[in-house]
Amino acid sequence: MNWSAFISSYIFAFIVLNVMLGLMAYMTYIERKVMAAMQDRVGPNRTGPFGLLQPIADGVKLLAKEDIVPKNADRLVFLIAPLISFVLAPLSAAVIPFGGTITVFGHDVNLYVADINVAVLYVLALGGMGVYGIILGGYASGNRYSLLGALRSAAQVVSYELVLGLSLVGIFILSGSLSLVEILNAQQQPLTPFGGAIQIPNWYILSQPLGFVLFLIAAVAETNRAPFDLPEAESELIGGFHTEYSGFRFSFFFLAEYINMIVVSLMAATLFLGGIDGPIADGVWWLAAKAALFLLFYIWLRTTLPRFRYDQLMGLAWKVLLPLAVINVALTGLIRLWGLGLL
């Protein structure tokens, strides 16, 4: 076993995890500020300069609250459900490449935690597991509204994960790999259309526009964000699966949702927008800028669109998105075969 590589990736994982947690806290602040601006309000501005200490105040408040377990609850499942959500959320960040290999103190350090050859499937698998937090939390609360939220979540995630996976098959066909590092490398070769007159980056948003749109829609649904936040629809389900949760267990669900948003944004930036690739100097700042774009898009969606009705949600997934995703796969495959001269 290569111990120095193991330790360096362990340290890097520690840094990534902590950066994610910090970002998550300030993501709530940014979301409230941006939403306030969009809705012509002020937003948090009392705690610290510009309200910058608001996330810390929120955290302290949630920690200090009483942790209530309802009498009707399935106690063990009720207690572990938020932990499942929270633990699984940041694990996806382990396969996202934040850069190439750099040399620190004579050691080669990879700017990714792990380059596994099924990285994209790993992220999808974690997404599929993460839903257990919501389903079990809703079931264990012993509350009809929570149960309804859990049922909605089960149906929604199964449907949209299909779309999410199929929307990425085009990328797999083009890059010939499921590893995020190799997908990133494949995007860094410049394309030279029109006989080399101009050079454009080989970002997959250019060759997979339909896949990109499908991925974006399915990702919003997968992270339970508005307008797909049916499992927690507060106007009909009083908060859905987290109705009965209080204190820090509630905030675990909350944290998981925001970490999932950040991870999905990083994924979208890496898969479709070339990740760390950018003009002038490649680097993690380009990835951050692209991910920030997606996060702002999330907030923009939430302030703009009303929530879907449940049958519309399922109809959209099965009657519109899934056929489009299959068409995208077939078209990409045909074009790839034609490009290889096999058709």
Partner 1 sequence: MSAEVLVFDILGAVAVLAAAGVVLARKPVHSALSLVVSFVNVAAIYVILRAEFLAAAQIIVYTGAILVLVLFVIMLVHPEDLPEFHGGRPIQRVLALILGLVLLGEVLAAILTRTVVGQPGPWSEQAVQAVGGNVQALGQVLYSGYVLPIQATALLLLVATIGALVLARPDSPRVRRVARDTATISLGHPRGADGANGVELPALPPVAGDRIKPETGERELVMAKSGDDFLDQPVWGERRRS
Cα–Cα distance list, 141 to 74, 146, 200, 241, 278 (Å): 7, 6, 53, 8, 47
Task: Determine if 87 is a binding residue for partner 1 (CB under 8 A).
Answer: no
Is residue 337 near partner 1 by the rule CB under 8 A? no
Are 307 and 226 in contact by the 8 Å Cβ rule? The answer is yes
* 176 belongs to the binding site for partner 1 (CB under 8 A): yes
Comparing CB distances to partner 1, the nearer of 57 and 154 is 154
- Give yes or no for a contact between 241 and 74, defined as CB atoms under 8 angstroms apart: no
Extract the runs of DSSP E, i.e. beta strands, from the chain.
Answer: 101-104, 107-110, 190-191, 200-201
**Helix, strand or coil for residue 191?**
strand
Q: Which of 31, 58, 161, 232 binds partner 1 (CB under 8 A)?
A: 161
DSSP state of 317: I
Q: Does 157 bind partner 1 (CB under 8 A)?
A: yes
Asked if 63 interacts with partner 1 (CB under 8 A), we say: no
In the range 98-137, which residues lie near partner 1 by CB under 8 A? 116-118, 121-122, 124-125, 127-129, 131-132, 135-136
Contact 176, 229 (CB under 8 A): no
Q: State in angstroms the smallest separation of the CB of 70 from partner 1.
A: 16
Q: Around 74, how many Cα atoms within 13 Å sit in the side-chain half-sphere? A: 13
257 binding partner 1? (CB under 8 A): no
Give, as one character, the DSSP assignment of residue 309.
Answer: P
Name the residue nearer to partner 1 (CB basis): 147 or 262: 147
Number of residues in contact with partner 1 under rule CB under 8 A: 30
CB of 221 to partner 1, least distance (A): 15
Q: How far is CA 162 from the centre of its chain?
A: 15
Residue 19 found at the interface with partner 1 (CB under 8 A): no
Judge whether 328 and 214 are in contact, CB under 8 Å: yes
Question: In angstroms, rounded to a whole number, what is the distance separating the alpha carbons of residues 47 and 56?
Answer: 9
Binding test (CB under 8 A) with partner 1, winner from 19, 25, 178, 296: 178
Q: Which stretch binds partner 1 (CB under 8 A): 34-42, 151-159, 237-245, 256-264?
A: 151-159
Answer yes or no whether residue 296 interacts with partner 1 by CB under 8 A: no
Alpha carbon dihedral 298, 301, 303, 305, in 10-degree steps, equals -150
Nearer to partner 1, 153 or 202 (CB): 153
- Please identify which residue in 17, 25, 62, 77 interacts with partner 1, judged by CB under 8 A: 77
Minimum distance from CB of 147 to partner 1 (Å)?
6
137 closest CA partner among 306, 257, 31: 257
| Pick 43 or 142: Cβ nearer partner 1 | 142
Find the shortest distance in angstroms from Cβ 316 to partner 1.
18
Measured CA to CA in angstroms, residue 81 lies from 158, 202, 204, 211, 250 at distances of 18, 42, 37, 33, 10
Binding site for partner 1 (CB under 8 A): 74, 77, 116-118, 121-122, 124-125, 127-129, 131-132, 135-136, 139, 147, 150-151, 154-155, 157-158, 161, 165, 176-179
